[in-house]
Amino acid sequence: SDLQKQEERGELLQPLIFVLLVLCSILLYFKVSLMDPGFVKPEEEVKEGEDKGQGVVIPQIPGDIKLRRCGYCLVKQPMRAKHCQLCQHCVRRYDHHCPWLENCVGERNHPLFIVYLSVQLVVLLWGGHVAWSGLYFEQSREWLQQNIFLLVSFFLIFIFTIVVLLLLVSHLYLISCNTTTWEFMSHHRISYLRHSELENPFDQGIILNLWRFFC
């Protein structure tokens, strides 16, 4: 049959990989949106060993900066945590609240968020290539009517690709500097950054920053 011939020629491999990437992006979306981003537990449940990851940088913070108690959920906030008004929780290493995920991006799901953006970018670039390859330009109304769906699809894919690419590049840059979107945008309002002698007291070099984040 034609299906068997296509399989023998390897023509089904690319569509199969594309479908698997789409499924992977969908699963990552639900994983990132449903998982705990790093909600701060009530004070009596927090163990001393949980903040060891920040212990290396704490000596660089001025000694008069103390951990503050959140006025909303009444827990003692670890360094770099922030209360999210939408989630009604304090989030460790808070980056931002993503409206597309309806969840915060924080200490626990930030690496998976980067993986999700990367997979989504590959899917969009691949889909854009497929949509573009199906277009054969002619200056006629009939051609426009026949290809309007492909044109609209390519236009939407192009917009989403630019958005995802900018998001991914900006996040990778911030990760390489060991800072978060919240810290980058609100540097002047955050006490442990405003009173620090260093512009970014958490920066330990690009390689170590990336290693600590992903590994």
Question: Which residue numbers are catalytic?
Answer: 98
Give yes or no for a contact between 117 and 164, defined as CB atoms under 8 angstroms apart: yes
Residue 145 burial class via C-beta count within 10 angstroms: exposed 0-12, middle 13-18, buried 19 and up: exposed
Nearest to 46, CA basis, from 8, 13, 78, 88: 78
